[in-house]
Structure 1
Amino acid sequence: MKRLWEQVPLKGQVMLFSSLIVLLSLLILSLFVAHNQTNNTREYLAEKVQLSASHVAYNSLVQNSLKAGETNQELMHYIEIIREENDLLYIVVMDTNKIRFTHPNSEQIGRTFVGTDAEQVFSGEKYTSDNVGTLGPSMRAFHPVWDNEGNQIGAVSVGISTDAIANAVLDNQKILIMITTISLILGLIGAWTLANHFKKTLNGMEPKEIALAVQERNSMLEAVNDGIIAINNAGEVLLANDAAQQFLKRTGYQGPFDHTPIDLIWPELKLQEMLMTTSTDTHELIKKGDVETVVTRVPMYVNHQCVGALATFNERSHLHDIVRHLIGAEVYAHSLRSETHEFMNKLHIIQAMVETESYEELKDYIEDLSERYHMKTASAASQVEQLVEDVSISHYLAKRIGWLEQMGVHVHIQSGIPWPSMSADFIDIWVTVIGNTFDNAWEAMQHKEQKNLTLTLKQVGGVLRYVIEDNGIGFSANEKQQFLTSTKKGDHGYGLANIKKKLQPLNGTLDILSEKDKGTIITIHIPYTERRQEND
Structure 2
Amino acid sequence: MGLVLSLVFLIIILLTASFTYIEGKQIKEQKGHLALELSKTISSMPEIINAFHTDDPAKIIQPLVEKIRKETGAEFIVVGNKQGIRYSHPDPNRIGHKMVGGDNKRALVSGKSYVSKAKGSLGISLRGKSPVLNDKHQVIGIVSVGFLFQDIKEQMIKNIIKVALISLIVLIVAVFVSILLARNIRKETMGLEPYQIAALYKERNAILQAVKEGIIAVDKNGVITMMNQTAKHLLNLRGDFHNKKIEDVFPATRLYEVLQTGEPQTDQEMILQNRTIIVNRTPIFDKNNEEVIGVVASFRDKTEIKQMVNALSEVRRYSEDLRAQTHEFTNKLYVLSGLIQLGEYDKAMDMIRDETAALNVQNRILFDQIKDVKVQAIILGKLGKASEKKIKFNIDTNSSLQSLPEHIKLPHLIIIIGNLIDNAFEAAASVRNAHVNFFTTDLGQDIIFEISDNGMGINEEDIPLLFNRGFSDKSGHEPRGFGLANVKEAVNELEGIVEVQSKPEEGSAFIVYLPKDSRGGQTNESG
Scaled by the length of structure 1, what TM-score is found?
0.51
Candidates 227, 240, 253, aligned match of 2:214:
227
In the aligned structure 1, how far is the partner of 2:295 from the partner of 2:130?
88
Aligned length: 354
Q: CA deviation at 1:19?
A: 4.3
* 1:87-113, Cα deviation, whole Å (9 max, x unpaired): 544444444554444444454444444
Note closer, same or farther for the CA distance 1:199–1:488 as it changes in structure 2 (3 Å cut): farther
Amino acid aligned to 2:321:
A
Counterpart code for 2:213:
D
Deviation track 1:458-513 (CA, whole Å, cap 9, x = no partner) reads xxxxxxxxxxx9984379965997453649968759xxxxxxxxxxxxxxxxxxxx
Aligned to 1:163: 150
Match of 2:24 in 1: 34
1:369-388 equivalence runs, <5 A: none
Distance 1:248 1:100 in 2: 100
After superposition, give the CA deviation of every residue in 1:293-334 in whole Å (9 maximum; x if it has no partner): 333334443342233333333344655699x8xxxxxxxxxx
Query: In the alignment, which of 322, 328, 331 is matched to residue 445 of structure 1?
Result: 322
Q: What is the aligned partner in structure 2 of residue 58 from structure 1?
A: 46
**Are residue 312 (structure 1) and residue 294 (structure 2) matched?**
no
Q: Quote the residue 2:197 is aligned against.
A: 210
Shift of 1:225: 3.3
Deviation at 1:450, TM superposition (A): 0.6
Cα distance change of structure 1 residues 491 and 201 upon mapping to structure 2, 3 Å threshold: farther
Query: How much has 1:39 moved relative to structure 2?
Result: 1.9
**Equivalent residue number for residue 287 of structure 1:** 271
> Given that residues 285 and 292 in structure 2 are in contact (C-alpha distance below 8 angstroms), is that contact kept between their aligned partners in structure 1?
yes
Task: Supply the AA of the counterpart residue of 2:258.
Answer: M
Q: What residue is the counterpart of 2:382 in the other structure?
A: 473
Which of 276, 297, 305 does residue 260 from structure 2 map onto?
A: 276
What is the aligned partner in structure 2 of residue 297 from structure 1?
281
Task: Tell me the SS of whatever aligns to 2:382.
Answer: coil
Matching residue of 2:486:
none
Question: SS of the residue aligned with 1:450?
Answer: helix
Q: Confirm whether residue 175 of structure 1 aligns to residue 52 of structure 2.
A: no
Q: Distance in 2 between matches of 1:66 and 1:140?
A: 26
Q: Percent identity?
A: 24
Query: Aligned-pair distance for 1:118?
Result: 3.6
C-alpha distance in structure 2 between counterparts of 1:301 and 1:488, whole Å: 48
Deviations 1:442-468 (A, max 9, x none): 343364461899xxxxxxxxxxxxxxx
Secondary structure of residue in 1 paired with 2:25 = helix
Q: 1:79: how far off?
A: 5.2
Distance 1:488 1:473 in 2: 11
* Kept after mapping to 2: 8 A contact 1:279/1:298: yes
Instruction: Give yes or no for contact 1:142–1:157 (8 Å, CA) kept in 2.
Output: yes
Deviation at 1:209, TM superposition (A): 2.0
- 2:402 pairs with 1:484: no
Deviation at 1:180, TM superposition (A): 4.4
Instruction: Give the deviation of 1:45 after TM superposition.
Output: 3.8
Say whether the 8 Å CA contact 1:117–1:131 is kept in structure 2.
yes
Aligned residue for 1:127? Answer: 113
- Per-residue displacement from partner, 1:100-143 (whole Å, max 9, x unpaired)? 44444454444444454445555693634433344443344455
* Corresponding letter in the other structure for 1:16: S
Unaligned runs of 5+ in 2: 331-376, 384-394, 396-400, 420-527
Q: Distance in 2 between matches of 1:487 and 1:44?
A: 105
Query: For 1:196-237, what per-residue CA distance to the aligned partner results, in whole angstroms no more than 9, with x for missing partners?
Result: 444444333323222222232233334433333334444454
Give the distance between the partners of 2:247 and 2:129, measured in 1 at CA.
Answer: 90
Give the distance between the partners of 1:233 and 1:307, measured in 2 at CA: 5
1:127·1:142 contact (CA, 8 Å) conserved in 2?
yes
Cα displacement (A) at 1:437? 8.9
How many angstroms apart in 1 are the aligned matches of 2:68 and 2:273? Answer: 105
Q: Secondary structure at the match of 1:37?
A: helix
Q: After superposition, where does 1:446-525 map in structure 2 within 5 Å? A: 447-448=324-325, 450=327, 472-473=381-382, 482-484=408-410, 486=412, 492=418
**Maintained 8 Å contact 2:264/2:283:** yes
Alpha-carbon separation, structure 1, partners of 2:238 and 2:305: 25
What is the alpha-carbon distance in structure 2 between the residues aligned to residue 284 and residue 118 of structure 1?
A: 100
**Which residue identity lines up with residue 484 of structure 1 in the other structure?**
L
In the alignment, structure 1 residue 43 sits paired with structure 2 residue 33: yes
Q: Which letter does structure 2 place at the counterpart of 1:210?
A: I
Aligned residues: CA RMSD: 4.8
Show structure 1 runs of 5+ residues with no match. 1-10, 325-431, 454-468, 494-536
- The structure richer in helix per residue is 1
**How far, CA to CA, are the matches of 1:122 and 1:108 in structure 2?**
20
